[in-house]
Amino acid sequence: MKTTKNILLAALMLICSITTYSQKKNIVFLFADDAGYHDFGFQGSKTFKTPNLDKLAKDGMVFKQAYTTAAVCGPSRAGLLTGRYQQRFGIEENNVPGYMSHSSKLMGDEMGMPLDEKTIADYLKPLGYTSQILGKWHLGNADKYHPLHRGFDEFYGFRGGARSFWPLTQAQAADRPENRLEIGYEKYQEADKYLSDAIADEACNFIERNKNKPFFTYVSFNAVHTPLQATKEDLAKVKGLTGKRKVLAAMTIALDRACGQILDKLKELGLEENTLVVFSNDNGGPDGSKTCNYPLSGCKSNNLEGGIRVPFIMKLPNVIKPGSTYNKPVSMLDMLPTFVNVAGGNASKIKNIDGVDLIPFVTKKNKAEPHKMLFWKKENRGIIRMGDWKMLRFPDRPAELYNIEKDQEENNNLAYKHPEKVKVMFKHLWKWECELERPLWMLKRVYEENAMKRMDDKRTPILD
């Protein structure tokens, strides 16, 4: 009798487990902007205080080798939202008016993500999801590229790539209309508080209104991107730092507080157990903001690890083990298929995406690596990650080869010791590049030269 009861109990637990995973999950994607790899408590920082994100890390899984698809904001967001290498549809560089080469196919507000590319929100809509984007868009200023035309149901944010954390003046709004704070479509109203806090309020309001049906909120913070602006209250909480690092630490306090407010709202409404929460960042920390990418070399705009490897947390109760880590390379390309499958869809039926559903890998149902190869490209620079090896091709010097597993700092160039491996990786990189479209817009050549110089200046990891 006891044995029979045990069998029935085990069967019931299995059924509950299957039901828990098969039920449509809410999806909350917390996305920072230009943050340093090391500038979080869960990443090892002793000077930047992030208690809410540290708790999220303890409740979920921390990924040690998570990569964006680009070392700058706009292209990385295009890859993230489509699950496709953004170079496949002609996006390699940020769409920043005034910096573009006159040979570009698209210029000004027309620089945007092609309209035939589908987003995460497009795929979630037929699955019954209501989708919201907050904060930074940066995928086209023209009306035709607007988030509400790209699958999202709600938008509270700005179309451009960076703006003040305080309300814009009329003069500022007139000078850069893409930076106006927009509610829905063409309704502009500046927030009455610091922008990171306003974004958190809107996220919580959305969650409250949609608590009884599946939802996706893409919380695209502009923190901690420039301009470096913080509240007096947050600045007063920072001890032991001065200058830009102090302001950045205060901005990070606000970012962490906003994330904590959203996580608390999920708990308050009893949604925590049925919600996938992801936190990450769009690219490596830039040198100009005094971010810290330790122990990685490089920074934003170059393809050393410090430019493309980012903090990454994933929490899914009853599926992902709390307090765990994942050490194999993953990509922001993986968000779309992961979100679609968690929403009850079937990402394997989506054609021409480059990402994979991460859940089977992190739950060890699939013990292979999620990606045999990962690629990056910008101008004449091309990068391939294959297993533990990473090769970088440059326009002004011989290729470099690193064993990232043994040398994540990229200090020991092994290209001369392994010429055959370089040759094989060159061929894989070239084959991939032959699948890509020509860039729709390109920076003036001088900015590529500047990016190479920043890479050389940031070759050695620096700990704050």
- Enumerate the domain spans of the chain: 24-372, 374-457
Q: Residues 232, 235, 239, CA angle at the centre, nearest 5°? A: 150
Q: Which of 80-89, 151-160, 175-184, 281-290 has the lowest mean pLDDT?
A: 281-290
Which one is the CATH code of 24-372: 2.40.50.140, 3.20.20.140, 3.40.50.2300, 3.40.720.10? 3.40.720.10
Q: Give percent of the chain with pLDDT exceeding 70.
A: 95
Residue 392 pLDDT grade (very low, low, confident, very high; cuts 50, 70, 90): very high
User: Phi/psi zone of residue 315: left (φ > 0), alpha (ψ -120 to 50 degrees), beta?
Assistant: beta
Beta strand extents in 179-236 (DSSP E only): 182-183, 215-220
Q: How confident is the model at residue 17 (pLDDT cuts 50, 70, 90)?
A: very low
Average pLDDT over residues 114-131: 98
The alpha carbon torsion through 61, 65, 66, 70 (nearest 10 deg) reads: 170
Grade residue 22 by pLDDT with cuts at 50, 70 and 90.
low
pLDDT of residue 30: 99
In whole angstroms, give the CA distance from residue 412 to residue 394: 17
pLDDT class for 4, splitting at 50, 70, 90?
low
- As a whole number of angstroms, the distance between CA 15 and CA 49 comes to 41
- Residue 108: its pLDDT value, please? 94
pLDDT for residue 10 is more than 80: no
Give the mean pLDDT of 236-245: 96
Alpha-carbon torsion angle 254, 256, 261, 263, nearest 10: 160
Is 70 exceeded by the pLDDT of residue 282? yes
Give mean pLDDT, residues 316-339: 98
pLDDT, one tens digit per residue, over 154-204 is 999 999 999 999 999 999 999 999 999 999 999 999 999 999 999 999 999
Q: Is the pLDDT of residue 7 over 60?
A: no
Q: Which of 289-293, 304-308, 366-370, 420-424 has the lowest mean pLDDT?
A: 289-293
Instruction: With beta carbons less than 8 A apart as the criterion, state whether 131 and 348 touch.
Output: no
Topology adopted by domain 374-457:
Arylsulfatase, C-terminal domain (3.30.1120)
